[in-house]
Chains A and B, each alone.
Chain A
Amino acid sequence: MRRIQVLLCSGTACQSSGSERVKRALLDALTAHDLLPEVQLVDTGCMGPCELGPVLLVYPEGTFYVKVQPDDAAEIVIEHFLKGRPLRRLLWAEGAPQPHEIPFFARQRKLVLRNCGTIDPEKIEEYIASGGYEALGRAVTSMTPTEVVAAISRSGLRGRGGAGFPTGTKWELVRVAAGVPKYVVCNADEGDPGAFMDRAILEGDPHSILEGMAIAGYAVGASRGYVYIRAEYPLAIQRLEVALAQARKLGVLGQRIFETDFSFDIELRMGAGAFVCGEETALIASIEGRRGEPRPRPPYPATSGLWGKPTLINNVETYANVRHILLDGPEAFASVGTEKSKGTKVFALAGKVRNTGLVEVPMGITLRELVFDIGGGVPTGREFKAVQIGGPSGGCLPSSLLDVPVDYDSLSQHGAIMGSGGVIILDDATCMVNMARFFLQFTADESCGKCVPCRVGTQMMLAILDRIVAGEGKEEDLQRLREIGEMMKNASLCGLGQTAPNPVLSTLRYFPAEYEAHIRDRSCPAGVCPNLVRYRIDPDACRGCDACRRACPTGAAQGTAGAPPYQIVDERCIRCGACFDACPFDAVRKEPR
């Protein structure tokens, strides 16, 4: 008789912090106490609070343990499983709250992540027990393709890949497009720095994607689908492969699904890691075996896509929503969210926030709720400065805009984008110019080189930003950045080049003073840009331990052991920060020059 169920997060984040070792230690401890018949261990997908991993959730009580180490296993087994009292030191919060009592979870609304962290992603039976493949069965046995498309349209679902195109409209375009065969493609080429929503869905609930794609195939008249997934996601690929094999075995993929005339199968295609391959026409070129470069649209993939045939391309999270729309009804789906942005959205919280990880919230929640109520705000000692939303195509919003609702239209109105859902929280130790430069370096590196505005424009903007962060900026540089940015927005071939200037343009819009400080005062207010900071030793804090002198590669840190204070000779300093890191007494201060 199983009396305890232990859900062990085995997403990539928890695996990297050692969940596999924790599992082995738990199994050893359970074996030692002869508890294996009574305690069931379940590997699940991502539960969300990635920074606190490895995490595990113990039922029936719903006790949430965080930062569990292999050495803790025996104690958990003895204290909790044998003696029946939660191990206090590993609890998320005092009083052993249930997940729904913890603010991080309480404010979320899980739809596409509902199965992530609750079922074993490698067992199709668990997916089916959660209502899996029921929507597909309903669609193919009791709905016409037109009715399926109509349901998606009525739900108001919009593409979760970033641009927010109405999903039902896209499906209808492919459904009525002339040409056979048609194809269904899942864009799993998630590449924004700091974004891991799609990865978690694929790792934690792979069948929901396969089911969504099969429903789409039925709706648009396709019998073949492709998942284009980056090769950097080995765990997601492995779980998709397992899921595909199981789905074929049970007949929910393959010939004559649910004994109807509908046949549908899915193949995986691995991407080699070019960011531009997330652009739909470049993605198509890559699947076809050509160089991953975009082409001008029109024609759109809906009429001429993979091998020139009508092709439906949706993002992972979009497909993950599909089954819920058919199961709960489009009206139920549309009851969540705002007027023009329906349903929920998964965000990856990263950067300077207490609870980094994966969250799913209803559309229309404010940035403040997302960052502070769910994310827990900026860790102690620092101030919130801005939130970077939408990755390299997105923008930075300052604290004055924290009450902006998170939906497609509000975000783009303020110069950011929903994007795929990467949210990076920045604190007052972040230099906005340096941050914009980071993203531009990324897009410059990832530009495919096909069109001139993106290929050369990113380089020209980067050169200017390089100059500004080096303290060699010129007054006219800001206007120049705006001009090149506007040119790229209008003239670039694909979304990569059209949105690449956004991080620069949005920081210029909301943080102009910071650019001006770099240019006019040759100063970095956040004390980040190496050429614009100065290291100084606080004579009151220095104990003369000699650590800075030993760490300094140029002999700029000087002094005699045991005879404080030490000094840093600015002319010799190369601003590597070695002394800053080495000082055990925080006596080395980094200051704007």
Chain B
Amino acid sequence: MISLRIDDTPVQAKPNWTILTAARAAGIRIPTLCHLDALRPVGACRLCLVEIRNWNGRLVPACATPVQEGLDVVADSDRLASLRRTILELLFAERNHICAFCVSNGHCELQDLATELGMDHVTFPYRFPALAVDASHAKFGIDPNRCVLCGRCVRACSEVEGAFTWGFAGRGVHTLIEADLGEPWGQSTTCTGCGKCVQACPTGALFEKGKATAEQVKRPALLAEVTERRPRA
């Protein structure tokens, strides 16, 4: 076992754990968005940034940083809270997250995080991009206006389903999630229609057709349930 401190609490961790795993095992909450159990960590959303006191106060993503003996981790501080609120604000300003019109209203991870972290208004100018919805698939739809580019769908599709339908296209603020290198989703020849991407999506970007807002409750934990039942190699 490895010993470290998180928010001045001594924590024991297995050598292959990340700081996030160790924190959760010790009952310490660290907000996450791009992280999902069963998927490889990418450290992209930066909401789980924690401060390492004995690395000169460097900020690292808890989800992707392996534990080390003697780490002195700050997971909750005014500095981190303000940083996380700013990151959420940037996400809200980036695309069109208008909860009142969204199928995920009331069960959206982005919305929940805003509530939890006290992000009650956006001080950045909204960018209001006009992005086309793809409703060509028989069962599902994708609305990039609500996408936070966490890549959970991409990883669910490649790492759990093994279909490799989803990928990133473009770069920077123009990045989009695309099926089969830009085909309409409904014409994808690789998509198995399993819906794991939809369950993995933290917002209303990926949704099931024919379901009302109240019914559109996602089960991101499904991914871990699926992989844990698989025989280990």
Contacts and interface: CB of A to CB of B under 8 A. Distances in A.
A444 B124 CA distance: 17
A487 B90 CA distance: 11
A459 B41 CA distance: 25
Contacts of A295: 42-43, 64
A322 B149 CA distance: 42
Interface string A449-490: 111110111111001000000000000000000000001001
A460 B90 contact: yes
Contacts of A450: 42, 44, 149, 151
A51 interface: no
A455 B65 contact: no
A445 interface: yes
Interface in B39-89: 41-46, 49, 59-61, 64-66, 83, 86-87
B59 A490 contact: yes
A460 B124 contact: yes
Contacts of B66: 298-299
B1 to A, nearest CB: 20
Contacts of A459: 94, 127, 172-173
Nearest to A487: B86
B125 interface: yes
Interface residues of A, number: 28
A452 B170 contact: no
A275 to B, nearest CB: 10
A482 to B, nearest CB: 13
Contacts of B121: none
B46 A449 contact: no
A444 B44 contact: no
A296 B93 contact: no
A446 interface: yes
A490 B83 contact: yes
A484 B172 CA distance: 17
Interface string A492-520: 11000000000000000000000000000
A490 B56 CA distance: 12
A451 B172 contact: no
A411 to B, nearest CB: 20
Interface in B4-44: 41-44
A449 B64 contact: no
A560 to B, nearest CB: 48
A444 B173 contact: yes
Given A296-B60, A456-B94, A451 B46 contact: yes
Contacts of A561: none
A281 to B, nearest CB: 11
Most buried by B among A298, A450, A457, A490: A450
B168 A449 contact: yes
Most buried by A among B87, B90, B91, B171: B171
Interface of B: 41-46, 49, 59-61, 64-66, 83, 86-87, 90-91, 93-94, 124-125, 127, 148-149, 151, 167-168, 170-175
Interface of A: 274, 291, 295-296, 298-299, 444-453, 455-460, 463, 487, 490-493
Given A449-B168, A452-B45, 18 more contacts: A291-B168, A295-B43, A296-B41, A296-B60, A298-B65, A298-B66, A444-B172, A445-B172, A449-B170, A451-B43, A453-B87, A455-B149, A456-B173, A458-B172, A458-B173, A459-B173, A460-B90, A487-B86
23 contacts: A291-B168, A295-B42, A295-B64, A296-B61, A444-B172, A444-B173, A448-B171, A449-B168, A449-B174, A449-B175, A452-B45, A452-B87, A453-B90, A456-B90, A458-B173, A459-B127, A459-B172, A459-B173, A463-B125, A487-B83, A491-B49, A491-B83, A493-B44
